[in-house]
Chains A and B, each alone.
Chain A
Amino acid sequence: DIQMTQSPSSLSASVGDTVTITCRASQGISSYLAWYQQKPGKVPKLLISAASTLQSGVPSRFSGSGSGTDFTLTISSLQPEDVATYYCQKYNSAPWTFGQGTKVEIK
């Protein structure tokens, strides 16, 4: 099975900073990669599909890139409401594995 590895596992940044989270697949998955945001105590929310397609209503400071095995989620100007855990997930074929998550905090 394909493994998904996220880095870092946690980060702390200041409001306005650019934050980058990396997700690596153990084998190529083309662009079948989604990013989710889970705020504390809340249900996960789909942010990005197909590696770079921003979902409706998601702020434009979020962006995704990559294909094959290496993917990136970027928050261009971190806001207090972005405090959350972010997960990548591959969905090219079952099993649809999640990364272990990246917890983002405000410094």
Chain B
Amino acid sequence: EVQLVESGGGLVQPGGSLRLSCAASGFTVSNNYMSWVRQAPGKGLEWVSVIYSGGSTYYADSVKGRFTISRDNSKNTLYLRMNSLRAEDTAVYYCARDYNGEHGFWGQGTLVTVSS
């Protein structure tokens, strides 16, 4: 059974850092495109980042230079390192397994709150 379980969210002060994890089971992370998508409270979906099976990475302009997507093949886990966090980064962060680019399977999400 395919599963994605996010963790690592929480309350962090502006300017702080956080690392989100997304543990996968039922498939191999490194053989798939994997994405992070976020949703601010009461707002729409915002694509954040993708890592291709070949290792190429891409980011939304809003997080470029601050966030880093990576994976650990031995742990079959996807990560999102978030630095220099801002209030506008407050959101539920979802990881997703992509099919041919579309987000075919989503985790349950982890909430990140940036506040002093």
Contact = CB atoms under 8 A, between A and B. Distances in A.
B-side binding surface: helix, strand, loop or mixed?
strand
A87 B94 contact: no
B1 to A, nearest CB: 15
Number of chain B interface residues as a range: 20 to 34
Interface in A48-105: 49-50, 55, 85, 87, 89, 91-92, 94-101
A46 interface: yes
Number of chain A interface residues as a range: 20 to 34
A38 interface: yes
B108 A94 contact: no
A49 B94 contact: no
B47 A96 contact: yes
B104 A43 contact: no
B52 to A, nearest CB: 10
Contacts of B104: 46, 49, 55
A44 B44 contact: no
A98 B94 contact: no
Given A36-B45, A95-B47, A96-B35, A43 B106 contact: yes
Interface of B: 35, 37, 44-47, 50, 58-61, 94, 98-109
Interface of A: 1, 32, 34, 36, 38, 43-46, 49-50, 55, 85, 87, 89, 91-92, 94-101
17 contacts: A34-B103, A44-B45, A46-B105, A50-B100, A50-B102, A87-B44, A87-B45, A89-B102, A91-B100, A91-B101, A95-B61, A96-B35, A96-B50, A98-B46, A98-B47, A99-B44, A101-B44
